[in-house]
Amino acid sequence: MDADFWLQRWHEGQTGFHQSRVTPLLQKYWSGLSLPAASRVLVPLAGKSLDVAWLAAQGHEVLAVELSPLAVEQFFADQKLQPEVRESSMGRHYVAGNIEYLCGDIFDLDAATLSQCTGFYDRAALIALTPELRQRYVRHVYGQLAKGCRGLLLTLEYTQEQMDGPPFAVLEGEVRVHYAEAGGWDVQVLDRRAILDKEPKFAARGLDHLDTLVYRMERNSL
């Protein structure tokens, strides 16, 4: 699974992963993090998610990272925002108000940028990556976030042999191992619920169970 795969999905409009509403689990659990309003919040592999706009509406400085320029442009068009655009070594930056989209590869984010983020919301990144990339992703991103950074991680659990990803199954044990290796992360499961009855497209692909998990994560040391 590489960058071309996701760019092609956006080019062909194969974006069934995009939700037409704000994620209810985000709305339910975000306030429990008690992040100050002006916190800089990282949203990796953001697509054109309505969650980005919702987080900005809470007063946060949102840094969304997305590979596809089509997704970024569609987000700002949908939100009726006209961003200012600049280039850096990390990619192209689109900025409007307290929303910044970085159109580029998440692995190109530097330590200085990541260390400025004191919050994060990961609904679509970890489960979008192959097992080989997940460990590298967690070490690169979460290994460089600030001490005290906290946020929500959403994952899916199912029998991987029953369906090819993405989205991939990421079991609780793997989450705990990867974030322990990244250093200093406290991992707490806030919610686990069966959702196959609400996701018929996954049942049609052969799954006999599908759970979604919400983790509260906080980095207590470096």
Q: Which residue has the tokens 């979008």?
A: 128
> CA–CA separation, 42 vs 145, rounded Å?
9
Closest alpha carbon to 97 in 72, 71, 79:
79
Cβ-in-10-Å burial (0-12, 13-18, 19+) of 58 comes to middle
Could you tell me if 134 and 107 are in contact, meaning their C-beta atoms sit under 8 angstroms apart?
Answer: no
> CA–CA separation, 186 vs 204, rounded Å?
36
Interstrand relation of 40-43 and 185-194 (parallel, antiparallel or unpaired): unpaired
Peptide bond into 200 cis (omega under 30): no
> CA–CA separation, 56 vs 49, rounded Å?
12
Q: Annotated binding residues for S-adenosyl-L-methionine, as ranges?
A: 10, 45, 66, 123
Q: How far apart are the first and last CA of the chain?
A: 31
> CA–CA separation, 130 vs 186, rounded Å?
24
Q: Annotated binding residues, as ranges?
A: 10, 45, 66, 123
